[in-house]
Amino acid sequence: MLTAPYTIVGAGPVGTLMALMLADRGHRVRLFERRADPRTARPERGRSINLALAARGVLALKQAGLMSRVAPQMITMPGRMLHDEQGALQFLRYGQHAREAIYAISRERLNCLLIDAAAERPHIELVFQTRCVDMDPDAATLQLRDERHGSVRHEPFGILLAADGAGSAVRSALLARRLSSAREQPLEHDYKELSIPAVTGGAAGGDFVFEPHALHIWPRGGYMLIALPNTDRSFTATLFLPRQGDPGFDRLEAAGAVQDFFRHQFPDACAAIPDLAQQFALHPQGRLGTLYCERWQAAGRVLLLGDAAHAIVPFHGQGLNCGFEDCRALDGLLASRRDASVALAEFERERRPDTDAIAAMALENYLEMRDTVRSPLFAQRKALAAELERHFPGRFIPRYSMVMFHPEIPYAEARRRGAQQAQILDALTAQFGFASPDAPALRQAQRLLDDAGL
Amino acid sequence: MLTAPYTIVGAGPVGTLMALMLADRGHRVRLFERRADPRTARPERGRSINLALAARGVLALKQAGLMSRVAPQMITMPGRMLHDEQGALQFLRYGQHAREAIYAISRERLNCLLIDAAAERPHIELVFQTRCVDMDPDAATLQLRDERHGSVRHEPFGILLAADGAGSAVRSALLARRLSSAREQPLEHDYKELSIPAVTGGAAGGDFVFEPHALHIWPRGGYMLIALPNTDRSFTATLFLPRQGDPGFDRLEAAGAVQDFFRHQFPDACAAIPDLAQQFALHPQGRLGTLYCERWQAAGRVLLLGDAAHAIVPFHGQGLNCGFEDCRALDGLLASRRDASVALAEFERERRPDTDAIAAMALENYLEMRDTVRSPLFAQRKALAAELERHFPGRFIPRYSMVMFHPEIPYAEARRRGAQQAQILDALTAQFGFASPDAPALRQAQRLLDDAGL
């Protein structure tokens, strides 16, 4: 049974997964993508922060029956590996249970797998190298430009879903028509991707230079380097650093400055990137920020999805997971509502508290990753939270775990419960912990050591 | 300046290190060894639990100027990696600081490095394939048999140091003459060594199948498997299991029994040992025990050293470290005493409380490794101990750390302070911990969760 067709702008992971979910329900879908088919084109270098899939993303992929394709490309990361200035390592598990892990995956690879799956469906029409330049919600037409010849044409649509990312052209069209408004909150920090090759050795293609089953972090307070493993035994590292300041990207322009900075701050990573200066010069310096968009839907037939609606900073590793969860949420609403325009309006109403919550938590998590994670108090607090989770299963789940491992808990609820839990951790730490110098437990320990003559 | 020569029986690591220390002080040393020169002979298969060097052993090697040779052969192990029945992993650090690690090293390799160093010294004479069959302390003669021809001869000695291991022939000679007495306390558990090969792949010789920088433990309550990394990217695993019982070595004799047992209990290790059944059949089943020997010295000229005097079970990884510490202790006494016979008597008097203490702690540690380590309470107690160490540096050092990382603290003191610390940990846990269901902290957490409506 074929119903009125859907049009999707953007064949990134979110747009393509949405197309697959719609096709699964018998809808015809047309998917327009500005770029060439990534399965045949060469990837743009240094232009995608690599991905950490977590339970929300996995659940959406499972629902679409795609996990058997995706799983072989995933590398399990059950915790963080911290690197200090001397290269000493500390591993901190994310959760108590083996299943509480996140998964590194190449954004490019994941995208190609999804496009492969879409190309197999007769209901999905993939149109590459076709850029959306404008969209009229009232006339229900898209203005498209063929990127090869420059020719422009108008295309009518029934329902338009815009998954065209943080720089969404569809959103621009809504803003130009005053059908929505948006505020971008830029981060003062930029990012730069760097590739850490496998150590050379033999036909097997060499070896991981760091532990593959970990998300590596070099937390340095005001900035950080991270690295995620790739299946070819390389790592993709990302430096997050203020645009200006000391240290800052603007101070790294002199000859030798990058090498000096890395050698002092990240000596083990520096040793693992032989062509550091060249990579640094070649790869673009990326910007980060949070996008707050007032209205996601217009005229009962246009909806922004994923980053187009609510781009966030990458520090909770939830951008794509949240986008995939958008797909699940919209798919559920479209399936249960007779009128698609009702589903679009409900999606916006129901989903916004959750995307606001993850936007805030992603910003909060930058401080945790680059700074707090280094403190002994952080490890103590995590241990206490794990203790409470063990004793009160279901009632106390650490916020990080709710976000990453519990897709049944909406982001907004995770944030709300997380705030309550933080108060409980504060109270218990004050009464029973060893955090402050005048903690009762510490005073008692002092007495006992004195009594024992130690 | 050459003084009266020393004779050493046993060119294992302890005997050879002792020879090097004596040569450093200008003494001539003759070293008799039952086996052929290990640098040219093929090693006996499956006959040595591989070694974990810790600070006491390292300090002795440093004092003898040998660390530059030994260090390249060491693999740093900063903690334990626990494997559960499903193959899920948990890493527990040994200490807070990067330097608080132990080091895997091949016993054979270490022995060869020491013998190489000894062979370079003109003051040391190495005599291989020569077995001590008797020793007369009053006549000051050794009875030696050439292992190639079977010929027997008598050799006079000045000072005789016996480093001929747990089955010491020199000790037997003392016992036969009623100059000492000894009690062996056998362990009810035997051991079996198994090799875990590197995963195949390329000219580099493959890859470690588990994390190389960890001492791997499969704790199963009544028994355990452990594995230490080798520089060739294999692991040497050791199964510790009751001789009789269910499970026990006697139940593993039927066809397929070993494979079944490993598949259920150690699935990840099982998958990593393709020739498990063959190895199990070929490798000898080793015995373990503690040796308490009443007198270590006789006639002012004979002294038992290392395992010959005080063989212990391997569960604290201190057998060789303790033997190397014997060398340091004896070297110090010989250097400061005019009369060697006084030094031998003092060595026995001063050293025995420490060797008794490490013998007891090694037995206690078997229970920790095979069982206690699995409990969440264990992790809590370790975290609390780490907390106290951070707040009271020097005053509270966890017992494991005192034994492994603090050679300035004698074993006996480590055991004494450890017992006091255990009482302090008990008291603090009861008052501030979450260990028991009616712990005050847990009741308070319950109240706070109730109040928050969580």
SS3 for A135? Answer: strand
Task: In whole angstroms, give the CA distance from residue B444 to residue B453.
Answer: 14
Contacts of A383 in chain B (CB under 8 A): 379-380, 383
Task: In whole angstroms, give the CA distance from residue A236 to residue A224.
Answer: 14
Task: In whole angstroms, give the CA distance from residue B108 to residue B44.
Answer: 10
Distance from CA of A68 to the nearest CA of B (A): 21
Report, in this order, helix, strand and coil percent for chain B, each rounded to 5. Answer: 40, 25, 35
Contact A98 B86 (CB under 8 A): yes
Residue A228 burial (CB count, 10 A): 25
Task: In whole angstroms, give the CA distance from residue B135 to residue B156.
Answer: 10
Q: Which residue of A has its CA nearest to B391?
A: A442
Q: Which residue of B has its CA nearest to A211?
A: B211
Residue the block writes with tokens 């020719």: A151
Distances (CA, A) of B229 to B187, B318, B397: 26, 18, 27
Contact B203 A206 (CB under 8 A): no
Distance from CA of B122 to the nearest CA of A (A): 41
Distance from CA of A361 to the nearest CA of B (A): 20
Contact A445 B89 (CB under 8 A): no
Beta strands at A297-298 and A302-304: parallel, antiparallel or unpaired: antiparallel
Phi, psi of A227 (to 5 degrees): -150, 135
In B371-410, alpha helices (H) = 376-391, 399-405
**Which residues 240-299 on chain B approach chain A with CB closer than 8 angstroms?**
none
Instruction: Decide if A394 touches B, using CB distance below 8 A.
Output: no
Task: In whole angstroms, give the CA distance from residue A39 to residue A130.
Answer: 16
Q: Measure CB to CB from residue A86 to each of B98, B376, B395 and give the nearest one.
A: B98
**Which residues 38-97 on chain B approach chain A with CB closer than 8 angstroms?**
78, 84, 86, 88-91, 93
Distance from CA of B82 to the nearest CA of A (A): 12
Contact A441 B431 (CB under 8 A): yes
Residue the block writes with tokens 């060789």: B320
- pLDDT score recorded for residue A205: 55
Distance from CA of A395 to the nearest CA of B (A): 6
Report yes or no for ipTM above 0.90: no
Instruction: Decide if A417 touches B, using CB distance below 8 A.
Output: yes
Q: Measure CB to CB from residue A432 to each of B391, B424, B432 and give the nearest one.
A: B432
Contact B203 A201 (CB under 8 A): yes
Instruction: Decide if A207 touches B, using CB distance below 8 A.
Output: yes
Instruction: Decide if B417 touches A, using CB distance below 8 A.
Output: yes
Contacts of B387 in chain A (CB under 8 A): 380, 434
Residues 6 or more apart in contact with residue A307 via CB below 8 angstroms: A14, A163, A165, A166, A168, A291, A319, A323
pLDDT in tens, B316-351: 999 999 999 999 999 999 999 889 999 999 999 999
Give the strands of the sheet with B189-196, arranged side by side: B89-93, B79-83, B215-219, B224-229, B235-242, B189-196
Interface test with B, best of A399, A432, A444, A451 (most B CBs within 10 A): A432
- pLDDT score recorded for residue A292: 97
Distance from CA of B328 to the nearest CA of A (A): 27
Contacts of B438 in chain A (CB under 8 A): none
Contacts of A399 in chain B (CB under 8 A): none
Contact B445 A388 (CB under 8 A): yes
- The size of the A-B interface in CB pairs under 8 A is 117
Contact B388 A202 (CB under 8 A): no
Residue the block writes with tokens 């050092």: B397
Instruction: Decide if B394 touches A, using CB distance below 8 A.
Output: no
Contact B423 A452 (CB under 8 A): yes
The helix (H) or strand (E) run that includes residue B75 is strand B75-77
Q: Which residue of A has its CA nearest to B211?
A: A211
Instruction: Decide if A127 touches B, using CB distance below 8 A.
Output: no
- pLDDT score recorded for residue A48: 54
What does the block give as tokens for A389?
């989770």
Distance from CA of A403 to the nearest CA of B (A): 17
Q: What angle in degrees, to the nearest 10, is found between the helix axes of A411-432 and A340-370?
A: 30
Q: What tens-digit pLDDT sequence spans chain A (454 residues)? A: 344 589 999 999 999 999 999 999 999 999 999 999 999 876 655 455 679 999 999 999 999 999 999 999 999 999 999 999 988 888 888 987 778 999 999 999 999 999 999 999 999 999 999 999 999 999 999 999 999 999 999 999 999 999 999 999 999 999 999 999 999 999 999 999 999 999 875 445 578 899 899 999 999 999 999 999 999 899 999 999 999 999 999 999 988 999 999 999 999 999 999 999 999 999 999 999 999 999 999 999 999 999 999 999 999 999 999 999 999 999 999 999 889 999 999 999 999 999 999 999 999 999 999 999 888 788 888 888 988 998 898 999 999 999 999 999 999 999 999 999 999 999 998 888 877 777 888 888 889 989 988 8
Q: Measure CB to CB from residue B428 to each of A396, A445, A454 and give the nearest one.
A: A445
Q: What is the CA radius of gyration of chain B?
A: 24
SS3 for B205? Answer: coil
Task: In whole angstroms, give the CA distance from residue B64 to residue B59.
Answer: 9
**Which residues 425-454 on chain B approach chain A with CB closer than 8 angstroms?**
427-428, 431-434, 440-442, 444-446, 448-449, 452, 454
Residue the block writes with tokens 């990534």: A38
Contact B432 A440 (CB under 8 A): yes
Q: Say how far residue B355 (Cα) sits from the centre of its chain.
A: 13
Contacts of A449 in chain B (CB under 8 A): 392, 395-396, 424
Distance from CA of A409 to the nearest CA of B (A): 13
Contact A423 B452 (CB under 8 A): yes
Instruction: Decide if A165 touches B, using CB distance below 8 A.
Output: no
Residue B331 burial (CB count, 10 A): 22
Is B351 in contact with B329 (CB distance < 8 Å)? Answer: yes
Contact A421 B454 (CB under 8 A): yes
Contact A207 B207 (CB under 8 A): yes
Task: In whole angstroms, give the CA distance from residue B233 to residue B195.
Answer: 11
Is B290 in contact with B364 (CB distance < 8 Å)? Answer: no
- pLDDT score recorded for residue A203: 46
pLDDT along chain B (454 residues), means of 10: 75 98 96 95 61 97 96 94 88 83 94 97 96 97 96 96 97 97 96 91 68 95 96 94 95 93 96 95 94 97 98 96 98 93 97 98 95 85 88 92 97 97 91 81 88 87
Is A11 in contact with A31 (CB distance < 8 Å)? Answer: yes
Distance from CA of A434 to the nearest CA of B (A): 7
What beta strand segments (E) does B262-402 contain? 289-293, 297-298, 302-304
The helix (H) or strand (E) run that includes residue A325 is helix A319-336
Distance from CA of B263 to the nearest CA of A (A): 19
Distance from CA of B449 to the nearest CA of A (A): 8
**Which residues 343-382 on chain B approach chain A with CB closer than 8 angstroms?**
376, 379-380
Task: In whole angstroms, give the CA distance from residue B449 to residue B445.
Answer: 6
Contact A206 B206 (CB under 8 A): no
Contacts of A442 in chain B (CB under 8 A): 391
| Residue type for position B294 | E
Residue A96 burial (CB count, 10 A): 16
